[in-house]
Amino acid sequence: MTPRPHNPGENRVASNETKTLNDTKPLKVALLGFGTVGSAVARILSDEPERLPLRLTHVFNRNVERKRVQWTDPSVIWTSNVDEVLASDADIIVELVGGIDPAHDWVRQALQAGKSVVTANKKLIAAHGPELSRLAQEHGATLAFGASVAGGVPVIDALQEGLAGDKLYRVSGILNGTCNFILTKLENEGLDFATALKQAQEAGFAEADPTDDVDGYDARAKLVILARIGLKAIVQPEQVPCGSIRELDAVDFIYAHELGCTIRQISRAERTNQHVLASVRPALVPMDSPTAHITGSLNLVLSSGKYGGQTAFSGHGAGGHSTAVAVVSDLLDVARGGSYSDPRSQVEAEVLPVSANFADKYYLRFTVRDRPGIVAAIATALAAHGINIDALLQKPGFGKEALPFVVTLEECTAEKLESAMADIRKLDFLVGEPLTMPILTREL
């Protein structure tokens, strides 16, 4: 056999590569953050030392003494000094502090030092994923973030490896369990939004400030990550418009049921050769669609491929234990030199223009001070933009000073509808902001 030519740079790269299970000693793991997820990760690593080729060596947290527990190995170093952790001999840094700053700087430092990083930080990966993936590649490290989308549902690994042979053109689904919990309460118990939100907060699903969840920003960060991994398209979070669920009411579910639908917060991104369509907003979905049967705090991710068709992934998307399992699974993937250790799948993506100009049927709910000519005025404004009304629905029993009714539209683009709504919002009989939602009759 002819010997392979020697490359002088090989020894340098090999010395800086991530340690794997081929090494004799367990990989050393340092945790940044010891909250709900961090403590659950530490528990798994501490309970399974013989099964897992991983050893917890450091725990960082502000005011760490109030976080210290007795069930970790006595050798674990507890510290409030992040520099001590970043300068340590840990092989893998697990970032669980959340947010962008200072997490972005800490992850950069770890990767530049040749340490691999595992993170569940969707905001960080959505905003800086391509940059950090390239940095990992340059320094022979690994960046793993499977826990950043859908918690315990291994969708990132599935898109990256299990569906690598397909050419995906769409990813969509229900990416925020808090919204789904609230919408289920509105639908099943007839609650108003404020009451349903309070119950979600009491159950631990919603934060004291629920903005990221109910206004779509949390789901948007996850969709951006899915677009990069599944569609090979680099999308910035601010490019994706979000719609809030705050204006929804139980009456909308009554009307939706009459149309054979229910309402879910839908995230969707679709790639063509030239651009990406993407949005996060509440939408009507048919009762026979997979999304209609996702209730409570469950998540659902749907991928559509040119050759393999549609694939669904469902499960609990949040919670300390399910996310911790995803984090430990990423640690094992790094240790085994798995999919995340191949940087090509992380950096092979294109920057494409993004719009939300989907063509859909639409549901419009108006609340008005009743008087003659209201429907005619709305129809005239829609017709001026080339939009046709499909149906009109009005339930009895509401007062004339705040009368809700629904207009459904034939298919039109989001751009056309927004132009028409700008005119309609000027009409003086409106009580409050009209509610607009797409009716997703075609495959998500």
Residue pair 39/96 in contact (Cβ under 8 Å)? The answer is no
Quote the distance between the C-alpha of residue 424 and its chain's center.
Answer: 33
Q: What average pLDDT score do residues 8-27 get?
A: 50
What domains are defined for the chain?
10-148 (3.40.50.720), 155-315+347-355 (3.30.360.10), 359-439 (3.30.70.260)
Q: Is the pLDDT of residue 151 over 80?
A: no
Residue 154 has a pLDDT of: 86
Which pLDDT tens digit goes with each residue over 335-376? 988 767 665 656 678 888 999 999 999 999 999 999 999 999
Q: What is the pLDDT of residues 44-65, one digit of tens each?
A: 999 988 899 999 999 999 999 9
The answer on pLDDT for 434 being more than 60 is: yes
Please tell me whether residue 315 adopts helix, strand or coil conformation.
Answer: strand
**Residue 78 and residue 63: Cα distance in Å, rounded?**
10
Pairing of β 168-174 and β 261-271: antiparallel
Number of H helices, E strands in the chain: 15, 18
Peptide bond before residue 343 is cis, with ω within 30 degrees of 0:
no
As a whole number, mean pLDDT of residues 393-416 equals: 94
Instruction: Please report the pLDDT score of residue 345 as a whole number.
Output: 59
| pLDDT at 387 (0 to 100) | 98
**What is the per-residue pLDDT for 315?**
85
Q: Which DSSP symbol is given to 179?
A: H
Q: Please tell me whether residue 60 adopts helix, strand or coil conformation.
A: strand
Give residues with Cβ within 8 angstroms of 387, minimum separation 6: 409, 410, 412, 416, 417, 420
Per-residue pLDDT tens for 258-275?
Answer: 999 999 999 999 998 889
- Per the model's pLDDT, the better-predicted residue between 226 and 8 turns out to be 226
Decide if pLDDT at 236 tops 90. Answer: yes
pLDDT grade for 402, boundaries at 50, 70 and 90: very high
Check: CB of residue 172 under 8 Å from CB of residue 267: yes
> In this predicted structure, what is the pLDDT of residue 309?
94
CA distance 60 to 71: 16
What's the pLDDT at 338? 74
Question: What confidence category does residue 318 fall into, taking pLDDT thresholds of 50, 70 and 90?
Answer: low
Chain mean position to CA 120: 11
pLDDT of residue 135: 94
Residue bearing the bigger pLDDT, 304 or 205: 304
Q: Taking residues 135-146, what's their average pLDDT?
A: 94
**Of 60, 17, 16, 11, which Cα lies nearest the Cα of 39?**
60
Spatial CA neighbour of 145 closest among 109, 113, 101, 107:
107
Return the pLDDT at 296: 87
Let me know if 185 is a catalytic residue.
no
The more confidently predicted of residues 4 and 198 is 198
Rounded to whole angstroms, the Cα distance separating 137 from 346 reads 9
For residue 317, what pLDDT is reported?
Answer: 67
pTM (global) more than 0.85: yes
Q: Which of 67, 115, 185, 222 is catalytic?
A: 222
Tens of pLDDT, residues 80-122: 999 999 999 999 999 999 999 999 999 999 999 999 999 999 9
pLDDT band at 384; cut points 50, 70, 90 = very high
23 band by pLDDT with thresholds 50, 70 and 90: low
What pLDDT is recorded for position 8? 34
Average pLDDT value for the chain: 90
Answer yes or no: is pLDDT of 7 > 80. no
